[in-house]
Amino acid sequence: MNTLRRAPVPAQKLLIDGAWQDGSGTPFAVTSPIDGSRLTTLEAATEADVERAVAAARRAFDSGVWSRAAPAARKKVLHAIADRIEAEALDLAVLGVRDNGTELAMALKAEPGSAAGTFRYYAEALDKVNGEIAPTAPDVLGLVHRMPVGVVGAIVPWNFPLMIGAWKLAPALAMGNSVVLKPAETASLSLLRLAQICADCGLPEGVLNVVTGAGAETGSALALSMGVDVLAFTGSGVTGRRLLEASARSNLKRVYLELGGKSPNVVFADAPDLREAAKVSAAGIFRNSGQVCVAGSRLLVQASVHDEFLALLKAEAEALRVGDPLAEGTQIGAVNSEAQLARVLSFMEGAGEIVTGGARILENTGGTYMAPTIVAGVGAQDRLFQEEVFGPVLAVTPFSDEAEAVRLANATDFGLAAAVWTSDLSRAHRMVAAIRAGVVHVNTYGGADNTVPLGGVGQSGNGHDKSLHALQKYVDLRTAWIKL
pLDDT number for residue 5: 84
CB 421 within 8 A of CB 266: yes
pLDDT digits (tens, 9 = 90+) for 453-480: 999 999 999 999 999 999 999 999 999 9
Mean local confidence (pLDDT), 389-414? 98
Average pLDDT over residues 262-267: 98
Give the separation between CA 4 and CA 7, rounded to whole angstroms: 5
477, β-bridge pairs: 146
- The arithmetic mean of pLDDT across residues 262-283, rounded, is 98
* Burial letters 75-93, b for 16+ CB under 10 A, else e: bebbbbbbebbbebbeebb
What average pLDDT score do residues 250-264 get? 97
pLDDT given for residue 358 in this prediction: 97
Beta-bridge partners for 258: 234, 461
Whole-number pLDDT of residue 4: 83
In order of start, what are the domains of the chain with their CATH numbers?
2-259+461-483 (3.40.605.10), 264-449 (3.40.309.10)
**Averaged pLDDT for residues 182-190:** 97
Q: Is the pTM of this model over 0.75?
A: yes
Q: 10 Å Cβ neighbour count for 378?
A: 21
Residue from 168, 224, 246 nearest 454 by CA: 168
CA atoms within 13 A on the CB side of 223: 25
The mean of the pLDDT values for the chain is: 97
Catalytic residues: 258
Can you give the pLDDT at residue 62? 98
- Percentage, residues of the chain above pLDDT 70: 100
Residue 417: pLDDT band with limits 50, 70, 90? very high
pLDDT score, position 2: 73
SS3 (DSSP) at 315: helix
pLDDT over 70 (residue 245): yes
The amino acid at 404: E
What digits encode the pLDDT tens for the residues 343-362? 999 999 988 899 999 999 99
The full DSSP string for 454-479 is B--SGGGBSS-BSTGGGGGGGEEEEE
| pLDDT digits 0-9 by tens, 126-152 | 999 999 999 999 999 999 999 999 999
The whole-number pLDDT of residue 3 equals 83
pLDDT greater than 90 at residue 307: yes
* Residue 448 pLDDT exceeds 90: no
Q: Is the dihedral of CA 47, 187, 16, 209 positive or negative?
A: negative
For 222-238, what is the mean pLDDT?
Answer: 98
Q: What is the mean pLDDT of residues 199-223?
A: 98
CA-CA-CA-CA dihedral for 399, 404, 406, 411, to nearest 10:
-90
The pLDDT, as a whole number, for residue 1 is 63
